[in-house]
Structure formats: structure tokens, C-alpha cells
Amino acid sequence: MRYRITVAYDGTVYGGWQVQLGTVTVQEKLELSLERMTGTRPKVHGSGRTDQGVHAVGQVAHFDLERPFTPVSLQRGLNALLPLDVRIMACAKTEPDFHARRSAIWKEYRYFIWNGPVVPPHLRLYRAHVSRPLNVTSMREAAIHLVGRYDFAALTANPNRVVESTVREISRLEVQKKGPELVMVVRGDGFLYKMVRSIAGVLIRFGEGAMPSSEMALIRESKIRTARVPTAPAQGLFLWRVGY
């Protein structure tokens, strides 16, 4: 029986989503909890990887179990075994051919920025802090040049693995502002390694006035990563939703 879960987590203490040597990950915690509950250790497949320190409110994953469980008992049992910074928000039986990553049509990330002199302590792990005033109009004008299907090689980092293509499609990129808080909402058919944090980093630079907004198209078209594109801090990033 295949199950689909929606997972929320505070990524502060984790080395990311994917199991890896030398660090504790969210996937590892899920698989260990499933092993304790079911007696077997199925592989948990996520909709995508999140990096060290990145959070999620809508990560989707699937796994297979030989012995059937009701979704309610699975959700309750896993939440009883998981640490409090990882929660199963929803659980359901799904079709045998459903795949959390390959079946996904789009993903939405949100990047949160606190644009003020002091970050409230309760938000320090969940907001990137930029103390200099940001010009939101400039950020929005630059963001327009990233909506569409393009080669985003200039806005990714080296993942130390083979990537078949750096072409992706962004269908939505907005910069919202409410008081000192800015939220960058980005939705696309897929994202490259550190692509969202790179977009956030370069939009912050535009907001600081480091470049005119027209430079964004030139950066994108160069297809070369340079120092003009910094990687924004991990703690501001959330995997928000996955569409199927």
C-alpha cells in the first residue's frame, strides 16, 4: 500500500531533507520513525530536497508499506514518535503509481525577509535579516525578468553532480510587503540547487540599489554564476506547497 504524507518541519538543526552521512536529516527521522512503528524501514521519497537550515510547511512524500495501516493511525503514530520539529500534517492512501517528485507539476517556495534594524527574537530562525531599507519597486521590476522559461545557470550553485539541464520555468514570482516583512513567492516546474536562495539574494541586491533592475535580464542571459548573485541565508526559505 502506498501512502502520501504532507510534512512540515523546522529545518534549523537538520542537514537538509535527504539522508546523508555525518548529519541528521528529516528523511532519516521519518524512516526511523516508520521502522519503529511498522517493523520495517521503507524509503521515504520526497517531492524535492531542501538544504541545511531550510524549512517546510508543505513538503510532500510517499512510501510503501507491506502491512496496511489507516491514514489516521499512521499520522498519529508517526507524530508520537517524531521530534516536535517534524510533523505529519496530512496522511492518505494513494495510487500505486503516485510519486512525490515525478508526479509533481509545480512547487512553490516562499522566502521571508525582515527589513528593519532589529529582528524579533522569535523570528530569528525563520527570517533573513536585511537592516538597510529595500526598494520593493526595484525588486519587483527585476523579478519580472525571471518569469518564464529560461536557462537559469547564472542563478544556481554547483551541486557536485551531473545536471541534465539548467532550463526551468517560473510561472510566478512576487515580492510582497507588509510592514517590515517582505515575502518572495516563487512558483515553478522545478528548481536547481540553491536557485531560490540565489534569486532571493540577487533581488535583495536590487532592493539595496546595487544595480538597476534592467541588469537582471543581462545576468540571466549570461548563464554564468558571478559574485553579483549572492546566496541568501537558509533560514528565510520555506518549501510552501507542491502541486499535482
Residue 90 and residue 151 in one domain: no
Q: Would you say 189 and 108 are in contact if contact means Cβ atoms under 8 Å apart?
A: no
The answer to whether residue 21 is domain-embedded is yes
Residue 68 and residue 116 in one domain: no
C-alpha Rg value of the chain to the nearest Å: 19
Domain residue limits at 223: 106-243
How does the average pLDDT of the chain come out, rounded?
96
The answer to whether residue 76 is domain-embedded is yes
The answer to whether residue 101 is domain-embedded is no
Catalytic residue among 51, 64, 97, 151: 51
**pLDDT reported for residue 147:** 98
Question: How is residue 71 written as a grid cell?
Answer: 491514514
Question: How is residue 224 written as a grid cell?
Answer: 554564468
Domain tally, the chain: 2
Percent of the chain with pLDDT over 70: 100
**pLDDT reported for residue 160:** 72
Among candidates 123, 125, 116, 146, which has minimal Cα distance to 206? Answer: 146
pLDDT in tens, 109-138: 999 999 999 999 999 999 999 999 999 999
pLDDT in tens, 134-167: 999 999 999 999 999 999 999 998 877 777 899 9
The answer to whether residue 118 is domain-embedded is yes
**Treating both helix axes as pointing N-terminal to C-terminal, what angle do 136-143 and 195-207 enclose, rounded to 10 degrees?**
130
The answer to whether residue 10 is domain-embedded is yes
Residue 88 and residue 47 in one domain: yes
d(CA 54, CA 186): 15
d(CA 90, CA 71): 8
> What mean pLDDT comes out for the span 26-34?
98
Residue 139 and residue 77 in one domain: no
The answer to whether residue 99 is domain-embedded is no
How big is the CA angle at 202 (ends 240 and 189), to the nearest 5 degrees? 40
d(CA 38, CA 32): 10
Verify whether residue 51 is a known catalytic residue: yes
Residue 179 CB neighbour total at 10 angstroms: 8
Q: 239 φ, ψ to 5°? A: -75, 115
Please tell me the pTM assigned to this model: 0.95
Q: Would you say 195 and 225 are in contact if contact means Cβ atoms under 8 Å apart?
A: no
The answer to whether residue 184 is domain-embedded is yes
The answer to whether residue 113 is domain-embedded is yes
Residue 33 and residue 115 in one domain: no
How big is the CA angle at 169 (ends 230 and 244), to the nearest 5 degrees? 115
**pLDDT reported for residue 109:** 98
